[in-house]
Amino acid sequence: MSIRVLLADDHGIIREGLRSLLEREPDVEVVGEAEDGRKALELTRELLPDVVIMDITMPNLNGVEATRQIVGEFPKTKVVALSIHCNKRFVADILKAGASGYVLKECLFDELLQAIRAVIANGTYLSSRITGTVVDDYVNRLSTTAEPPLAVLTGRQREVLQLLAEGRSTKQIALELHVSTKAIEVNRRQIMEKLDVHSVAELTKYAIREGLTSIE
């Protein structure tokens, strides 16, 4: 039986290359592609893949938030992060969100394949470059009583914060999230209160600093 894989990356050439390589494997089937985290969530609901290959820094909904929602709704679906980032913070955040693997984009394809097969077997996989101190850091973060700054926000508030930081208007966010503009205004006010910031410009800086979105 084939391993059903969904690809989530905002660069089309990456998705195309991964699809080409994965489809050479007799036991792997690429069932879909997503250009951002929100589409990845929609396609997971529709296609029920076994594994989602997830980029971290994507527009609209980043890979960490998408992973949190996918794993929350579909605990049998495994997520393998595929990222350029070897920063401990990115690794810890997506592992805490529920990812079972983390592979650096600088690695060879065989390593991604190992990660896919490891997580399907209910194991975990981390690229060799980020094991050791990264694992120690992750364990320490889980055991500490201090919560990361974004932990004070709900999942919806983190979504709204990312979209605000990416320049969306209140109306655009409301349409994208299928809620009223009033609901978005309430969320924005609550976000500012919780984070003790007082303008959208400050929110944008905060979101970038905390890795919720990027300046790309």
Does this model's pTM top 0.85? no
- Cα–Cα distance for residue pair 31/198, rounded to 1 Å: 44
pLDDT at 88: 78
Report whether 153 contacts 194 (CB < 8 A): yes
- What's the pLDDT tens digit per position in 142-167? 555 455 667 788 888 888 988 888 88
Report whether 81 contacts 57 (CB < 8 A): no
Mean pLDDT of 11-23: 95
Residue 140 in tokens: 């320490």
All domains of the chain in start order, with CATH: 3-143 (3.40.50.2300), 149-209 (1.10.10.10)
Give the other-Cβ count within 10 Å of 27's Cβ: 11
Residue 81 in tokens: 């992060």
Residue 80 in tokens: 């393998």
Beta strands (DSSP E) in 121-205 are 125-126
At 137, the pLDDT band (50, 70, 90 cuts) reads low
- What's the pLDDT tens digit per position in 23-64? 999 999 999 999 999 999 999 999 999 999 999 989 889 999
